[in-house]
């Protein structure tokens, strides 16, 4: 079970309200975008673009991250050590102006008025937040969306059935060979993509506190000293510490087969190309992670590794009507 903040307990009414708000375009400044615009269920709540596009048409420097098992994250977003809750993370797309995403900065009261004009919405907020007066507030909009996102749990892939349910036939022989490669000391994939979420440290209701991890995977070296493009330099843009140049959080590999293109900026198109990038050790610089050493891998081994990664696809998660836009398979 994921951790739940004491000031935002879960309830069926709140989750259902959050689901509706997640897909509601009234939560963008110009009324054209919703959270679900950039986070599409069939793509594991990514958008299929190299870099996201905001409600005004501006291109974001980063790719939309998957929301699968997002409630277990230690930090949120690609490269912000300070984002430690879903509630805090939601403020980023709502208020970010460089570029504009949802475009809500300074328009919080307007959004509340938009929703307050609908009697059905008012009733849903009252049910979700029965102790609050008023119940329809901007803060409660954020809390409801966060509650919904905490239900986006993915754990029914062939790999899960093989590993946790002892179904020996859940994955193919090729995927089993690929799994051996993935967890091998030669490739070291699992050193960054660790744990049940294949993403590094996680937090649950019963786990000990964990510190976030960020990695420079050798994607760029534009000055011969490891520099990344000025528009996105990872954790460095938050800390200004030279050692943080190009460091980003390892995303979950669950459902990775449907979340192309890859890396924080969508700069690698296929899983095969991702394997090739790591096999050659990235572009190599003095400040890249010491885990990115390069390795030897044959074409057949690459195919096996990719088949293992494809076994992480959870069709139940991608089609669960409880996560879908209301009116698309499950209206409760």
What is the arithmetic mean of pLDDT over 18-25? 98
pLDDT computed for residue 329 by the predictor: 45
Residue 330 in this model has a pLDDT that exceeds 80: no
* Residue 328 confidence class, pLDDT cut points 50, 70, 90: low
Q: Return the pLDDT at 54.
A: 96
CB 61 within 8 A of CB 231: yes
> What's residue 243's pLDDT?
95
Consecutive H or E run containing 162: helix 158-164
- What is the CATH number that goes with domain 12-152+318-323? 1.10.760.10
On the question of pLDDT at 316 being above 80, the answer is yes
Q: Is the pLDDT of residue 17 over 50?
A: yes
Alpha carbon of residue 296 to chain centroid:
30
Q: What integer best gives the mean pLDDT of the chain?
A: 96
- Class of the 156-313 domain? mainly alpha
pTM as predicted: 0.95
Q: Which residue has the higher pLDDT, 207 or 319?
A: 319
- Residue 327's pLDDT band (cuts 50, 70, 90): confident
Two domains, one topology: 12-152+318-323 and 156-313 = yes
Q: For the chain, what are the domain ranges?
A: 12-152+318-323, 156-313
Single out the residue of 288, 290, 262 nearest to residue 275, CA to CA. Answer: 262
Other residues' Cβ atoms within 10 Å of the Cβ of residue 34: 20
């Amino acid at each position: 079970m994921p951790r739940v903040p004491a000031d935002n307990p879960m309830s069926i009414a709140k989750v259902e309200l959050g689901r509706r708000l997640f897909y509601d375009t009234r939560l963008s400044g110009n009324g054209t975008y919703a959270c679900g615009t950039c986070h599409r269920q069939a793509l594991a709540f990514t958008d299929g673009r190299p870099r996201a596009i905001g409600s005004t048409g501006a291109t974001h420097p980063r790719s939309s991250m998957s929301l699968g098992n997002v409630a277990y994250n230690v930090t949120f977003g690609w490269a912000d050590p300070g984002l430690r809750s879903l509630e805090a993370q939601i403020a980023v797309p709502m208020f970010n102006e460089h570029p504009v995403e949802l475009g809500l900065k300074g328009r919080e009261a307007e959004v509340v008025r938009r929703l307050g004009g609908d009697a059905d919405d008012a009733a849903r907020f009252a049910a979700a937040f029965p102790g609050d007066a008023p119940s329809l507030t901007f803060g409660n909009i954020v809390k409801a969306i966060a509650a919904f996102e905490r239900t986006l749990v993915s754990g029914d892939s062939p790999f899960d059935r093989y590993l946790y349910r002892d179904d020996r036939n859940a994955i193919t022989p090729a995927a089993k060979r690929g799994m051996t490669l993935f967890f091998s000391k030669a490739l070291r994939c699992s050193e960054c993509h660790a744990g049940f979420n294949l993403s590094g440290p996680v937090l649950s209701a019963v786990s000990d506190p964990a510190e976030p991890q960020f990695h420079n995977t050798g994607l760029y070296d534009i000055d011969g000293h490891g520099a990344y493009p000025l528009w996105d330099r990872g954790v460095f843009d938050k800390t200004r510490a030279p050692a943080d140049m190009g460091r980003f959080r390892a995303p979950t590999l669950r459902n990775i087969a449907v979340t192309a293109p890859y890396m924080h900026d969508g700069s690698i198109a296929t899983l095969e190309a991702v394997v090739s990038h790591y096999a050659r050790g990235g572009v190599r610089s003095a400040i890249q992670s010491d885990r990115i050493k390069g390795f030897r891998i044959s074409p057949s081994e690459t195919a096996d590794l990719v088949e293992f990664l494809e076994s992480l696809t959870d069709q139940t998660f991608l089609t669960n009507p409880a996560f879908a836009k209301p009116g698309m398979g499950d209206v409760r």
